Amino acid sequence: MEYITLNNGIKMPMLGYGVYQVTKDECKRCVLDALETGYRLIDTAQSYFNEEEVGQALAESGIPRRDIFLTTKVWVEHYGYEETKKSVYISLEKLKTEYLDLMLLHQPFADYYGAYRALEDLYTEGVIRAIGVSNFYPDRLVDIANFARIVPMVNQVETHPLNQQTEAMKWMKKYDVQIEAWTPFGEGRGGLFENDVLTAIGKKYNKTAAQVMLRWNLQRGVVVLPKSTHKERMEQNFNVFDFSLTEEDMQKIAAMDTQTSAFFSHYDPNMVEWFAKMVEERKQQHDSSKEKKNW
C-alpha cells in the first residue's frame, strides 16, 4: 500500500474501497471482502444509507480500529452548525466507532459554512482526525480555505481520464489540500474500459484498463476509491502497486482529457435546482428526525 500525509500530519492510504450505490443487502459482505483483500480505507456517506452495514462489517472483521481509515460525509439536509454536529454523532453510532478518520461535507450547497464550523470544532475536540469537502470546485475550495479557521485536508472530486481535474489540482496543491477521486473509472462512461489507449498500455504490463486508470491516478498523487461488489474485481483493483507507468504512458492518458464532467456540473443552475429537489425528496423518504439518537 502507498500512503500520503495530509496537511495535519495524518497518514492516509492512497487506495480505498468506496460503497456508493452498494445496497444495504450487499454492503456488509462487500466491506468484509474488501478488508480481507487488504483495503484499509473505507469510504461511505450519510446519503448512501449503508453506514450501519459498514459499521457491522468493521466490527465483525476483527481488524483493530486503528488500522482502518474510515471516511463518511455529511449530507446537505444536515448542514448548519447544530444539525451537522448531531448528524456526525448519528454516523458514529451507526458506524460503531468513537471517532472518524475523515469527515467530508458532501456537496457545496446550502449552509456549508455552518456545517464546516461544526467539523472544525469536532476536529478540535478529537472526534474527527481530519476534515474536508467533496465536490468543491476551485472557487468554493479557495473560498473556504481562506475564510474558514482550518484549511480542508481533502477534497473528493470526480477524477478519471476524461475529467482529469488538472486546474483543480493546481489550486489544491497551492492550499495543500489532498485530492481524492470518486468514480476513478468514470463508471465506464465514454467507453473507458474498452479505450484503445488504456488497453494498449495495459497489455505492456499484463494489466486491465481499470488497473491502468488506477495506477495513472496514483502516480499523479490522487487517492482513489474504486468500487466493485465482486471480490475478484476488488482484488484486481488492489493489485496496482507492482508496476509503474512511463512518462510516455502518462502523456498518452493526459491527452484523453475532455475537461468535462461525465455526469453533471455544479455550476449549472438547472442542476442545482434538480439537486435541491432531490435533497427534499430524500429528506421525506428518509426522515432523519425519526432516527435513533443515543448521543
How many C-beta neighbours within 10 Å does residue 25 have?
Answer: 9
**Residue owning grid cell 488500522:** 67
Give dist(CA 127, CA 14) in Å, integer: 22
Q: CB-hemisphere CA count at 13 Å for 69?
A: 23
For residue 17, indicate whether it is catalytic: no
Q: 3-class DSSP state for residue 94? A: helix
Of 48, 79, 123, 137, which one is the catalytic site residue?
48
How many C-beta neighbours within 10 Å does residue 250 have?
Answer: 16
Dihedral class, residue 55 (left if φ above 0, else alpha if ψ from -120 to 50, else beta): alpha
Greatest distance between any 2 Cα atoms in the chain: 55
How many C-beta neighbours within 10 Å does residue 225 have?
Answer: 24
What does R_g of the chain's alpha carbons equal in angstroms? 18
Give dist(CA 107, CA 120) in Å, integer: 17
Positions annotated as catalytic residues are: 48
